[in-house]
């Protein structure tokens, strides 16, 4: 029974991640999933998030707030972290072509993914600044 419950929780986490654009931290995911599974622990949420990352169903971003943010959008895309509102946004900044990089930089390994996080002040916070 424990395993069934476990994977149901994981499905809830997975579907939450795919429908949110907010790149939540584990704590935020925990608060959301707790509404569905009140008995879930933060440790279980961490384990499931890491499992999803290992399976390639989610990506983990390390931002300047020193927290890990999780993203259900797994195709390579770039991010912008706002140091004012601490939000992580998807941005359309171009990311390098992996194959091209390997060739031009003479890298013999295999690149699988790329997470790029730009840091600064987002358009919302720029508009709201007092100056």
Considering the complex, state which of residue 7 and residue 119 has its C-beta at the smaller distance from Zn ion: 119
Considering the complex, state which of residue 29 and residue 40 has its C-beta at the smaller distance from Zn ion: 29
Distance separating alpha carbons of residues 41 and 37, to the nearest angstrom: 9
At its nearest, how many Å lie between Zn ion and the CB of residue 5?
29
User: Is position 122 an interface residue for Zn ion (rule: CB under 5 A)?
Assistant: yes
The size of the interface with Zn ion (CB under 5 A), counted in residues, is: 8
Q: Where are the beta strands (DSSP E) in the chain?
A: 59-62, 68-71, 78-82, 88-91, 116-120
Ranges within 52-71 binding Zn ion (CB under 5 A): 71
Please report which helix (H) or strand (E) contains residue 48, including its range: helix 42-55
Ranges within 78-107 binding Zn ion (CB under 5 A): 82, 84-85, 90
At its nearest, how many Å lie between Zn ion and the CB of residue 76?
10
At its nearest, how many Å lie between Zn ion and the CB of residue 103?
27
Distance separating alpha carbons of residues 97 and 81, to the nearest angstrom: 22
The torsion angle over the Cα atoms of residues 7, 12, 14 and 16, rounded to 10 degrees, is: -170
Residue given tokens 């290992």 in the structure block: 54
Considering the complex, state which of residue 18 and residue 55 has its C-beta at the smaller distance from Zn ion: 18
Distance separating alpha carbons of residues 81 and 118, to the nearest angstrom: 6
Considering the complex, state which of residue 16 and residue 40 has its C-beta at the smaller distance from Zn ion: 16
Which residue ranges make up the site for Zn ion (CB under 5 A)?
A: 71, 73, 82, 84-85, 90, 122, 125
């Amino acid at each position: 029974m424990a395993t069934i419950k476990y994977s149901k929780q994981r499905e809830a986490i997975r579907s939450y991640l795919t429908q949110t654009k907010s790149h939540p931290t584990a704590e935020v995911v925990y608060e959301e999933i707790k509404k569905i599974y009140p008995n879930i622990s933060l440790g279980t949420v961490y384990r499931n998030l890491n499992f999803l990352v290992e399976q390639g169903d989610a990506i983990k971003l390390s931002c300047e707030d020193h927290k890990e943010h999780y993203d259900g959008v797994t195709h390579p895309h770039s991010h912008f972290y706002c140091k004012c509102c601490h939000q992580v946004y998807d941005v359309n900044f171009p990311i390098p072509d992996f194959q091209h990089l390997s060739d031009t930089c003479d890298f013999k390994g295999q690149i699988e993914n790329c997470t790029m996080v730009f840091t600064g002040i987002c358009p919302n916070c720029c508009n709201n600044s007092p100056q």
